[in-house]
Structure 1
Amino acid sequence: MPERLAEDARSLLQINRAITAAGKARQTSHALDLLASIAEARLRPDVVSYNASVAVCERSTQWTQAVGLLDQMAAAGVLGNIITKNSALGTLKEVVPTTSGETWVTALSSLVALGCSRLRPDVISFNSTMSVAVRAAEWQSAIGLFEDLGTDAVERSKISYSTTISAYERLGRWLGALETWTKLGSARWEPDVISYNSSLSACEKAGRWHIALQLLGDMAAQAHEPDVISCSSCISACAQASPWLLAMSLLSAMGAQLLPPNTITYNAAIGACEGQGQWLTALELLANMLRAALASKVPTVVSFSSAISACVRGGDWPVALALLDEMPRRRLSPNVISYSGVISACEKGSQRTLALRFLGAMEEASVAGDVVSYSSAMSACEELGRWQTALHLWELMEADGVTPNVVTLNTAISTCSK
C-alpha cells in the first residue's frame, strides 16, 4: 500500500510539472487536458495541480476557465491558497475592454470573498483588482483600493503606486497623480518610467507644462531614460500652453538621443506650432511625416487637421485645400476640424464661393458642422450679399444642434440688414 501511494505521488508530481511546462509554453488546452488526465488515472489533483492550471489561464487571460477551475476545486474539496486566488485574479487584468464591466464585478467579488475567507488578500490581490478597475474605467474604485491598502496592514508596492497614478491621470486629477508620485518617492520605492509617464500624462491633460518639464528633468537626474511617451507628453503639454519653441526643442532633443518621434509626438508638435501661428513650421513637420514613410510616423486625421488649421493663421488657403484633397488619397476621412479649417481659410482668403462650396461638401460627407464652419460660411454670405443663404445656414445650425456665438449672431444680423 505505501508503495502504491508513493507511486501515485510520483505520477501526480510528474503531471503537475507537465502542466507547469505547458503553461510556460502557453499551451492552455494541453495543460487543461493534463489536469483532466489526473482523474482519468484515478489520482486526486492537489492544490499544486490547480495552482499550475490556474496559472496557465492567467498567462493566456482565460478568466472564465480560471473561475471554472476555482469552482471545480471547491467541488473536489481541495482548499486553495493565496497563490490560487491571485492567479485567478491575474487572469482578469488583461481582459478586453468590451467585457471589462462584467470582469470588474467578478474581480471585486473575488477580492471580497478572499477577504472574508480564511485567506487574507495580499498586495498582489489588491494590485490585480486595481488593474482590472483601471481597465474597466472604474478609476475612483482603483484609488479607493489603494487607500484601503494603507489601512489593511498590507504594504503597498511600486505597482500599487503606478496603477493609482494612472487612475488619477485618467480622471484628469493631476494633483492627485503628483501627490501619489511623491509618496512613491517617500516610500522605499524608486519611481520608474511607467510612473513618470503617467504623471507626465496627467500634467499634459492639465496643461501644466512647467511641472511636466520638471518631471522630465528629474527623470534624467534619476538615470531614467525618457522614452517616446515621456517626450510626447511634454510636447503635448507645451502645445496646450503654446510655448512652441519648447515643443520644438524637445522634438530636436529626441532625435539627438536616438528616440525616434512617433505620430503622437509629431501631432503634439504640429499642434503647438498651430497654436502660436507658426504655420510654416507646422507644415514642415507634416512634410517630414509624409517623407518618412514609416509606420511609427504615419500622418493621421489629427496631423492634417492641425496643419490645415495652421494654414488658416497663415492665410494660405491653397495649401489648406491641397491638404484636404490629400487626405482621401491616404485613406483618411476629413473631420469637422479639417473642413472648418478649409472653410475658414477660404473665407479669410476672400475665396467666399469656395468656402460655401466646402460647407456643402461637408454636408455631403455627413460631417456635422460646428460653430467655426458655420460662422465662416455666414461671413462669406455677408461679403457676397447672400442673405437667403445665410438664413438657410442658420436653419442648418439649429438642425445640427450647434449653438451660435456672438460672431455668428452679429454676422447673421449684418447679412440680413444689407
Structure 2
Amino acid sequence: CNSVISACGRGSCWPGALALLRDLHVWKIHADVVGLNSALKAVAEASRWRQVSSLLLAVQEEGVEPDLVSYTAVMDAAQRSQRWPAALGALRTLQQRRLQADVICFTTLLSAVQRSAQWRLALTVLADMARTRVQPDLICHNAALAACQEGPWWLAVALLDNLGSSNLCPDIVSFNTAITACLRNEQWQMGLSFLE
C-alpha cells in the first residue's frame, strides 16, 4: 500500500492517495507512518493545507504517531499555502513531542517566513537553529536574507557578512538579495559595493 500511495504522490494524484488511506480504514487495515508520510507529501505538494492538517489529525486518532517527516510535510504544505503561522506551529509541535528538528524543517519554515517578509521571525528562526545546534546551510541563510529585504537594510548586510563565520560562501542569490535589500532602502552605494 505504501508504494501505491507514494506513486500517487509522484504522479500528482493526491486524491488517489487520500482515497487509498480511506479505503484502508474501511478495510480495517491500519496505515503506518510511512504510508502517512507518503500521503502527506502528496497532498503537501498540491498546496492543500487543510487536507494535510485534517489527514494528520485523522491518522493520529487511529494511533499512528507522526514523525519528523510527517511534520516537515505539514510545514511544506503551510509554506506552499503561504501560512507561516501554521508552519511555525508544526515546528513547535514536533519540538514539544521531543523530535529533533533538522535543517530541512528549519529551511521549510524559513521559506514560509520569507514568502511573507517576516524578517523578525526569520532572525528568531536562525537563533533557534543555533540554540538547537542545527547548522544552517546556504539555503537557510538565503531565505532569511530574502525575508530581511523588507526590514532594515543593515540586517541583510549583517547576514551576508555572517556567512563567512558560518563557513559558507555566499552565492549569486545571497549577493542579489543583499543588493535588493540595500536598494529598497535607498542605500545605493552599499548595494553597489557588492558588485565590486
Asked if Structure 1 and Structure 2 have the same fold, meaning a TM-score greater than 0.5 normalized by the shorter chain, the answer is: yes
- Measured at CA, do residues 143 and 264 of structure 1 come closer, stay the same or move farther in structure 2, by a change above 3 Å? farther
Counterpart of 2:3 in structure 1 is 87
- 1:369-388 matches, within 5 Å, as none
Instruction: Supply the distance in 1 between the matched residues of 2:61 and 2:28 (Cα, whole angstroms).
Output: 19
Aligned match for 1:181, one of 71, 82, 91? 91
Say if 2:113 is the partner of 1:113.
no
Instruction: Supply the distance in 2 between the matched residues of 1:232 and 1:140 (Cα, whole angstroms).
Output: 28
- Unaligned regions of 5+ residues in structure 2, if any? none
Say if 2:172 is the partner of 1:256.
no
Q: Secondary structure at the match of 2:139?
A: helix
Counterpart of 2:176 in structure 1 is 267
Structure with greater Cα Rg = 1
After TM superposition, where is structure 1 displaced by more than 4 Å over at least 4 residues in a row?
none
Instruction: Supply the distance in 2 between the matched residues of 1:225 and 1:168 (Cα, whole angstroms).
Output: 23
Counterpart of 1:284 in structure 2 is 193
Deviation at 1:222, TM superposition (A): 1.5
2:115–2:147 Cα contact (<8 Å) kept? yes
Deviation at 1:104, TM superposition (A): 1.5
Counterpart of 2:107 in structure 1 is 197
Q: Deviations over 1:194-245 (max 9, x none)?
A: 111111222222222122111101212222110111111111111112x111
Deviation at 1:108, TM superposition (A): 1.9
Q: Deviations over 1:363-418 (max 9, x none)?
A: xxxxxxxxxxxxxxxxxxxxxxxxxxxxxxxxxxxxxxxxxxxxxxxxxxxxxxxx
Q: Secondary structure at the match of 2:135?
A: coil
Instruction: Supply the distance in 2 between the matched residues of 1:233 and 1:223 (Cα, whole angstroms).
Output: 19
Say if 2:42 is the partner of 1:132.
yes
Instruction: Supply the distance in 1 between the matched residues of 2:154 and 2:142 (Cα, whole angstroms).
Output: 15
2:14–2:46 Cα contact (<8 Å) kept? yes
Q: Secondary structure at the match of 1:156?
A: coil
Counterpart of 2:135 in structure 1 is 225
Q: Deviations over 1:32-68 (max 9, x none)?
A: xxxxxxxxxxxxxxxxxxxxxxxxxxxxxxxxxxxxx
Instruction: Supply the distance in 2 between the matched residues of 1:263 and 1:143 (Cα, whole angstroms).
Output: 36
TM-score, length-scaled by structure 1: 0.45
Instruction: Supply the distance in 2 between the matched residues of 1:87 and 1:182 (Cα, whole angstroms).
Output: 30
Amino acid in the other structure paired with 2:2: N
What percentage of aligned pairs have identical amino acids? 32
Q: Secondary structure at the match of 2:182?
A: helix
- 1:389-404 matches, within 5 Å, as none
2:117–2:150 Cα contact (<8 Å) kept? yes
- Measured at CA, do residues 244 and 134 of structure 1 come closer, stay the same or move farther in structure 2, by a change above 3 Å? same
Deviation at 1:257, TM superposition (A): 2.2
Say if 2:77 is the partner of 1:167.
yes
Counterpart of 2:63 in structure 1 is 153
Instruction: Supply the distance in 2 between the matched residues of 1:271 and 1:110 (Cα, whole angstroms).
Output: 47
Instruction: Supply the distance in 2 between the matched residues of 1:264 and 1:91 (Cα, whole angstroms).
Output: 33
Looking at both structures, which has the greater relative contact order when contacts are Cα pairs under 8 Å and sequence separation is at least 6?
A: 2
TM-score, length-scaled by structure 2: 0.91
Instruction: Supply the distance in 1 between the matched residues of 2:171 and 2:78 (Cα, whole angstroms).
Output: 25
Q: Deviations over 1:55-96 (max 9, x none)?
A: xxxxxxxxxxxxxxxxxxxxxxxxxxxxxx11222233444x
Instruction: Supply the distance in 2 between the matched residues of 1:138 and 1:128 (Cα, whole angstroms).
Output: 14
Equivalences, count: 196
Instruction: Supply the distance in 2 between the matched residues of 1:186 and 1:89 (Cα, whole angstroms).
Output: 28
